[in-house]
């Protein structure tokens, strides 16, 4: 037989309705003014893959239904719960009131390197990902509990936001 690729039917995927019935993970994503609908769609698809509880779409983020979001989300916009909030600080305030630790994916003077971070079991986390050009707004960074930085070793000092979402969510789920 060899190392044949599995058929979709063999993957045991849940339906969008079944996804919504799965236990909560205590992990949500906050998108701070992501200008590309394709990046928003990618965040939905990755969030579905890692069973994220909810995506908060803030500011200028495109919202479903959107053909551009659907093109990269491939239907994940129907499984992952989402909410649009005009201002990211409002989402952060509401999440903190609900008991979430708010973490920004950002390079700061005091950021914690992702490869040295272990999420606390039982703690709820909201991870904020920033705009493709400006990153996470400074006032949102100031309101966060801490920042996580993805270690990078080449000439570039940033990753596409959709790549950052994948790297950081994988890291969190690895410890759940």
State pLDDT tens for residues 112-162: 999 999 999 999 999 999 999 999 999 999 999 999 999 999 999 999 999
State pLDDT tens for residues 56-89: 999 999 999 999 999 999 999 999 999 999 999 9
158 φ, ψ (degrees, to nearest 5):
-155, 160
Sign of the CA dihedral running 22, 23, 24, 25: negative
CATH of domain 22-174: 3.40.1280.10
Domains of the chain, by residue range, sit at 22-174
- Cα(138)–Cα(133) distance, integer angstroms: 13
């Amino acid at each position: 037989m060899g190392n044949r690729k599995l058929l979709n039917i063999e993957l045991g995927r849940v339906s969008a309705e079944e996804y919504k019935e799965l236990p909560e993970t205590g992990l949500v994503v906050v998108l701070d003014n992501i200008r590309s609908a394709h990046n928003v769609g990618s965040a939905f698809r990755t969030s579905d893959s890692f069973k994220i509880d909810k995506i908060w779409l803030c500011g200028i983020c495109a919202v479903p239904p959107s053909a551009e979001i659907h093109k990269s989300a491939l239907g994940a916009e129907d499984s992952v719960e989402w909410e649009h909030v005009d201002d990211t600080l409002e989402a952060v305030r509401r999440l903190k009131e609900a008991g979430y630790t708010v973490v920004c994916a950002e390079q700061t003077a005091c950021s914690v390197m992702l490869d040295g971070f272990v999420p606390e079991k039982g703690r709820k986390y909201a991870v904020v990902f920033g705009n493709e050009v400006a990153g996470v707004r400074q006032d949102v960074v100031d309101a966060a509990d801490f920042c996580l930085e993805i270690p990078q070793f080449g000439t570039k000092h940033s990753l596409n936001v959709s790549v950052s979402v994948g790297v950081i969510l994988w890291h969190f789920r690895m410890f759940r």
